[in-house]
Structure 1
């Protein structure tokens, strides 16, 4: 009896595999492992799929890199698909294979850039001490310094400008603001102040108001001094200035 896999087309081979799933594996009508590998339906097929996925990811990253330069320089309205394709080194046809619209590409680009910036400046990831007043002062000073250092970079300022300017045109961009350090730092500060209150280091009834007082005081160096400064972003304050801000803040909350 001839083997059903011999000389069969890929479509016929797939049918044989389906039949094998319903019959005993030892049946002579089933393909052997060698025959399966010969026709690329097992390991070979998986390898091809993996290679295709790697190429697709590489091409997507290439498009993102080119689009990042265009979006940060021109914003959403000023960025054209021609300029994006040229910056990415791909054709417009290739661009549309990976992204159906400019809106989808922009959201993907900003999301990726924001994730990278937050990883590079992981100021929100550590468990910061706040069990004594000196610890709380040090923690609030360190946090303010690290946040301002992170958001003072040119890429972060450019990203923030794009999100603020273009979120009315592309509403989905607005959700990205919740991922920025300037917004996500607030829950961390609230948690620090709550622990300090539990240790009876500070006396505050409204944690949200206290959090906004601290974050707002620090981030005036980011907005407006950084985002809309007419003569370029102002330099971040030195550590001594930040300590003065923190001391004024704690003086209003400290139990005497």
Structure 2
């Protein structure tokens, strides 16, 4: 899970060894640190320039606004989190075990303090700059739903599940795993669940999901 924690809020900037690429990566890393420390509203282009070790003039050459910079950061290495969290083997006939493992990994990640903070920050920014919220959603949740949907569709074709709408089924499963946990954490109510609590929540989610989408009798 170390890789997941590192990218919990934003993916690390994509490697690019060209001069322009290195400078852009330097700026994105500085912005990443500032946004994590101060949130979207509290971050300024001046502070980002200082954190990145560049002049404001150089910063504006690459990004003409804080909104554009934040959006670029959320889109960097688009889908990396989905690839880390949603590693699903379509040939594994034990659908229950696959879903349990995914559910544990997913819920553990969702409960990471850095991720909870990032969701709060993006939600606050999205009201003023909807493109930021859309970029964040498309760069993470949407990709995860798509990957899980593809897996569920394959299992339905193999007769292991009964699903007419894989995308909706994927959304249902992830919602079951989060249940009230994420909502509670977003409002800073209580502590994140421990490993045992996560396992209980996921086992219940899988049981309900299979009751609705299990193979036809």
Q: Name the TM tier (shorter chain).
A: 0.7 to 0.9
Gaps of 5+ in 1: 1-52
Q: Tell me how far 1:216 sits from its aligned partner.
A: 0.9
Q: Tell me how far 1:74 sits from its aligned partner.
A: 2.4
- Whether the 8 Å contact between 1:129 and 1:136 is mirrored in structure 2 is no
**Structure 1 range deviating more: 169-178 or 148-157:** 148-157
Matched with 2:120 is 161
Of 91, 100, 104, which aligns to 1:129?
91
TM-score of the superposed pair, with normalisation by structure 1: 0.64
Gaps of 5+ in 2: 1-16
- Whether the 8 Å contact between 2:74 and 2:139 is mirrored in structure 1 is no
The verdict on how the C-alpha distance between 1:58 and 1:205 changes in structure 2, with shifts beyond 3 A counting, is closer
- Whether the 8 Å contact between 2:146 and 2:167 is mirrored in structure 1 is no
Q: Give CA-to-partner distance per residue, 1:162-211, whole Å, 9 cap, x none.
A: 2222122222213321221x333323333333333333334445545433
CA root-mean-square deviation: 2.9
Structure index of larger Rg: 1
Q: Tell me how far 1:86 sits from its aligned partner.
A: 2.2
TM-score of the superposed pair, with normalisation by structure 2: 0.74
The verdict on how the C-alpha distance between 1:138 and 1:98 changes in structure 2, with shifts beyond 3 A counting, is same
How do 1:41-52 and structure 2 match up within 5 A? none
| Cα distance in 1 for residues equivalent to 2:33 and 2:158 | 48
Secondary structure of the equivalent of 2:30?
A: helix
How do 1:1-256 and structure 2 match up within 5 A? 54-112=18-76, 117-118=81-82, 122-129=84-91, 131=93, 135-176=94-135, 177-180=137-140, 182-220=141-179, 223-231=182-190, 233-235=192-194, 237-254=197-214, 255-256=216-217
Q: Tell me how far 1:235 sits from its aligned partner.
A: 4.3
How many residues are aligned here?
198
Runs of 4+ in 1 over 4 A off after TM superposition: 113-119, 204-209, 231-236
| Cα distance in 2 for residues equivalent to 1:58 and 1:125 | 30
